[in-house]
Amino acid sequence: MFKNIYTKLVVIYLTLLILIVILLSVFSIGFFYKQYSEEAQIQSLAMADKIDGLLTQYYNNEITKKELTSWIDAMSYVASTKIYVLNPDKTIINNADSSEQIFTNENVYKDITKVMEGEVVIKMGLLTQKTDNSIMYMGKPFIYNNEIAGIILLFTPVEQFAKTIESMLYGIISISILITIIGSIVILLISKNISKPITVISDYARKLGKGQAVDDLDIIGQDEIAKLAKAFNEMKREIKASEDIRKEFIANVSHELRTPLTTIIGFLKGILDGVIKDEEQTRYIQIAYDEANRLKTLTTEILDATKIESGRVMLNITKFSLSNLLDDIFMEFNQEIQNRGLVLLTEYRKTLMLEADRDKIKQVIINILGNAMKFTQKGYIKISARYANQKMIIKVEDTGIGISKEKLPHIFDKFYTANTYGSATGGAGLGLNIARNLVQLHGGKILVESELNVGTIITIEL
């Protein structure tokens, strides 16, 4: 219905304002009218009762006609009310003027007939269309010896009252117009104030959506709109950050994939061109094969990492013997570790049970153990596990080269290799990132302690 919030606000506010003004006017005039007319009616009735009394005295021959009329004249004068006392044949008893225009008024004539039939009539109204003819009249039958012996008619001019109402009406109308004008201006300003920042924010969102560069929105005040602007600024930063991560990721992946591919292509070309002699070929093919294998591992790792990150990995939680799993890992790696002149130690009880995804936990431990093997030249590697404080704590400890303090906080980052970059250690820097994500998926934590040239301890809490 409304094209924008601005017109919507203006229309709603103005409608409300006008409605309130109209209601207030109607109520105040109505209230004033009711109060006044009630008052006037009570007075008229009281006067009619007095006249009624006088008439009774007159009919009882207690007072003379002269006395009656002079009393009525006096009352009429004091209350500035015209009083007529009529016989049943409508002739006037007191000395009032019968040529008055009221008697020619059709409505009044009808009412007089009604009063003659015994009804009390009280009316407020104009005898003619002119305000200064505004009058309240009352007709009351006079009953003597159970018969209608005449009627009393009272005409009280109420032009003062009508004038008051009229000026009240003018006053209210002018105040209403004034309020409406002032209100409209205020409402226009307020609405503009509300709608303008919204327009700015929506323009901003449109630009942001198109990927255009935008400055931060100005934040004024602390209201909802300010909060919205703040949220938008934060959103912009988040978008920028994730965009940066995406770019960096692509750059890293391309780099990681390119290195082994360049080696493989170079060797194969050397063989095809005959640059590499026949007897050396096997050696080069073996290297190319190893590189191809590395490429395969790398792509699997990248796929794993992205899968976990995008939340597409479902855990297959079972209750299994952790001790068995660690035994398996020991069997798998012990020989190779011994071949490297290291010792693989274990320290856990044979009865440890764990509720987790067995394959994923195995992957985590192997990633960590793989690092320990890669970065340890002498000494030992120890795998230990124990249950304490409602937590399973698994540790992999080594006496390798360690990690410097500055690099320690980054080792769980994607593609981060603390020592030499990438292929020097054969790693892409994804192992620990995958491990941490898998542990976190389980609701656990992974911690690292390390000292250069002393060794590293990685702790998993599940």
Ligand X SMILES: Nc1ncnc2c1ncn2[C@@H]1O[C@H](COP(=O)(O)OP(=O)(O)OP(=O)(O)O)[C@@H](O)[C@H]1O
Q: Return the range that interacts with Mg ion (CB under 5 A); candidates 143-151, 289-297, 368-376, 378-386.
A: 368-376
Instruction: For residue 456, state whether it binds ligand X (rule: CB under 6 A).
Output: yes
Assigned token pair, 287: 């290297």
- The distance of closest approach from Cβ of residue 264 to Mg ion in the complex, given in angstroms and rounded to an integer, is 22
One residue of 37, 233, 323, 425 binding ligand X per CB under 6 A: 425
Give, in order, the Cα–Cα distances in Å from 69 to each of 62, 75, 124, 151: 14, 10, 26, 15
Instruction: For residue 394, state whether it binds ligand X (rule: CB under 6 A).
Output: no
- The SS3 assignment for 418 reads coil
257-316 residues in contact with Mg ion (CB under 5 A) are: none
282-311 residues in contact with ligand X (CB under 6 A) are: 301
Q: 418 is in the binding site of which of Mg ion, ligand X, none (Cβ under 5 to 8 A by kind)?
A: ligand X
Strand 455-461 to strand 445-451: parallel, antiparallel, or no bridges (unpaired)? Answer: antiparallel
Assigned token pair, 303: 């796929």
- The distance of closest approach from Cβ of residue 431 to Mg ion in the complex, given in angstroms and rounded to an integer, is 3
CB 7 within 8 A of CB 13: no
Report the alpha-carbon angle 143-149-151, nearest 5: 80
Q: Return the range that interacts with Mg ion (CB under 5 A); candidates 6-14, 144-152, 232-240, 369-377.
A: 369-377
Q: 433 is in the binding site of which of Mg ion, ligand X, none (Cβ under 5 to 8 A by kind)?
A: ligand X
Instruction: For residue 371, state whether it binds Mg ion (rule: CB under 5 A).
Output: yes
From 413, 387, 394, 406, select the one nearest 450 (Cα to Cα): 406
- The SS3 assignment for 219 reads coil
Q: 403 is in the binding site of which of ligand X, Mg ion, none (Cβ under 5 to 8 A by kind)?
A: ligand X
Residue 6 φ/ψ region, left for φ over 0, alpha for ψ in the -120 to 50 degree band, beta for the rest: alpha
Q: Return the range that interacts with ligand X (CB under 6 A); candidates 93-101, 151-159, 270-278, 414-422.
A: 414-422
Q: Return the range that interacts with ligand X (CB under 6 A); candidates 97-105, 171-179, 208-216, 413-421.
A: 413-421
Residue indicated by tokens 């040529």: 99
Nearer to ligand X, 236 or 294 (CB): 294
Mark residues 418-437: x for contact with Mg ion by CB under 5 A, - for none.
Answer: ---------x---x------
- The SS3 assignment for 392 reads strand
From 418, 423, 414, select the one nearest 404 (Cα to Cα): 418
Nearer to Mg ion, 191 or 371 (CB): 371
Report the alpha-carbon angle 428-432-437, nearest 5: 120
Instruction: For residue 418, state whether it binds ligand X (rule: CB under 6 A).
Output: yes
Give the helix/strand (H/E) hosting 268.
helix 224-273
Which residues form the interface with Mg ion (CB under 5 A)?
371, 427, 431
Which residues form the interface with ligand X (CB under 6 A)?
301, 367, 371-372, 375, 398, 400-403, 411, 416-419, 425, 427-433, 456
